[in-house]
Structure 1
Amino acid sequence: MPKDNDTTDKDPACSNDDEKKHSQEEVVQSDEETIASLKESLEQSKQDYLLSLAELENARKRIQKEKHDSIKFAQESIITDFLTPLDNFENALGFAQNMNEEMKSWAQGFSMILEQFKDVLNQNNIHPFNSEGQVVNPHLHEVIEIESTTEMEPGIIIQEFTKGYKSGDRILRPARVKVSKAPAEENLDEQDQIKEDENLNKNKKEA
């Protein structure tokens, strides 16, 4: 009789080992994925923390700058209020040159006080600027008088009535000035005629 083919039954112990091995591999893979996810979360948390620190530092610097600017502007505002009395003080001392010796002696003492006031302005970075002979600038000058003249180009400052002051690049007070302008056409003709008559008279005298 022919023999039946032998069928080899799997060893239950081997089957259990395979299952355990497969299960362990799944656990290891799961742990690796968990670790990778935790690392990614940790890196993101680190970046968020650094960003928050940077924003906090920027906010601190901004608040500090705003506080500094506020104090600076308040100081400048107070000092600016003293500029007009300072101008009057300086103008009054200018008249002392025409007075007697006793008054000049008093004026000399007040001149020293005036210089102390100017030193305070310099220490606070507040300085006057010159205007006479300059081209008028609406950011620097307040025009309060205009004079027709042919002796200089139009728009040139002829006279400074009140000094202008700066703090760095900021204008604390514009200078009040008189500015030149070109004469009207009929005035030019009249002035030319006057000059021509003067030249004729001069030539007659020389002859």
Structure 2
Amino acid sequence: MSDTTQQSENDIDGEPKPNASATDDLGQVQRQRDEYFDQLQRTRAEFLNFQKRSKTQADSDRVYAVGSLARDLLDGIDNLERASVALKATAPSGIHEGLDMVHKQLLATLAKHGVEPIEALGKPFDPNEHDALVQQPDANHPEGTVVNELSKGYRIRERVLRPSKVAVSVKPAQS
């Protein structure tokens, strides 16, 4: 190379001049790198959130999986309870005591899996837990109180599995 060519490619100190297109290319590559890094961080965060949601959903599914089986058993448990009550008046004590033991055993098994009865009698009516079938005039209870439980309700953890079918108090009609 000639000295003049060498002189033009170097600045005054003898250092090479930065090429404008190389600087632009470097800036573009750095911006692209930053974009990719940002995308990587976002993707990583989204994946962690997905993992957390999946674990939460799997835990919830595991806890509430017994719900459909329990719901199917509740009618049989109700009939067992009715049979026990009916036999108390007519049959020898051993038979209804045996039915009571089976009934308690079934309820204990359900309770072990988080299924428990909803306490309704004497409580204020809650449409989330109770299904009002009858309004019953009652001067002894405040209006809107459950005064009779026609069918027991059940919940699994905090979810209602089957609402209680209840009679709710209303003010007696004035004569």
> How far off its partner does 1:66 sit?
4.9
User: One-letter code of the match for 1:24?
Assistant: P
Structure with greater proportional helix content? 1
Query: How far did 1:89 drift?
Result: 0.4
Letter in 2 for 1:108: E
Kindly provide the CA deviation profile for residues 120-155 of structure 1, in whole angstroms up to 9, marking residues without a partner as x.
221221111211111222222222222223233222
Q: Which amino acid aligns with 2:66?
A: Q
The TM-score, its normalising length taken from structure 1, stands at 0.66
User: Which is further off, 147-156 or 129-138?
Assistant: 147-156
Alpha-carbon deviation of 1:86? 0.3
Return the match for 1:93 from 73, 84, 97: 84
Relative contact order (alpha carbons < 8 A, sep ≥ 6): 1 or 2 greater? 2
Deviation at 1:185, TM superposition (A): 2.3
Task: Rate the CA distance shift 1:170–1:185 in 2: closer, same or farther, 3 A.
Answer: same
Task: Provide the residue aligned with 1:181 in structure 2.
Answer: 170
SS state of the match for residue 49, structure 1? helix
- Asked whether the 8 Å contact 2:114–2:156 carries over to 1, the reply is yes
SS at match of 2:18: helix
**1:1-207 aligned within 5 A:** 15-22=4-11, 24-27=16-19, 31=22, 33-63=24-54, 65-66=56-57, 69=60, 75-99=66-90, 103-186=92-175
Root-mean-square deviation over aligned CA pairs: 3.0
Aligned in 2, Cα 1:115/1:152: closer, same or farther, shift over 3 Å? closer
Deviation readout 1:48-73 (Å, 9 max, x if unpaired): 12212332343454455556656665
For residue 16 of structure 1, report the CA deviation from its aligned partner. Answer: 4.2
**CA 1:185–1:32 in 2, change beyond 3 Å: closer, same or farther?**
same
User: 1:134-185 CA distances to partner (integer Å, 9 max, x unpaired)?
Assistant: 1222222222222223233222222112111112332221111222221222
Percent identity, aligned pairs only, is 21
Letter aligned with residue 159 of structure 2: R
Question: Gaps spanning 5+ residues in structure 2: where?
Answer: none
Structure 1 distance, partners of 2:138, 2:24, is: 90
Q: TM-score, normalised to structure 2's length?
A: 0.76
Q: Alpha-carbon deviation of 1:85? A: 1.3
Supply the distance in 2 between the matched residues of 1:20 and 1:140 (Cα, whole angstroms): 85
Q: Give me the whole-angstrom Cα distance separating, in 1, the residues matched to 2:9 and 2:131.
A: 95
1:130–1:18 Cα change, 3 Å: same
Taking the aligned partners of 2:88 and 2:61, their CA distance within structure 1 comes to 42
1:88 aligned counterpart, secondary structure: helix
**Count of aligned pairs between the two proteins:** 171
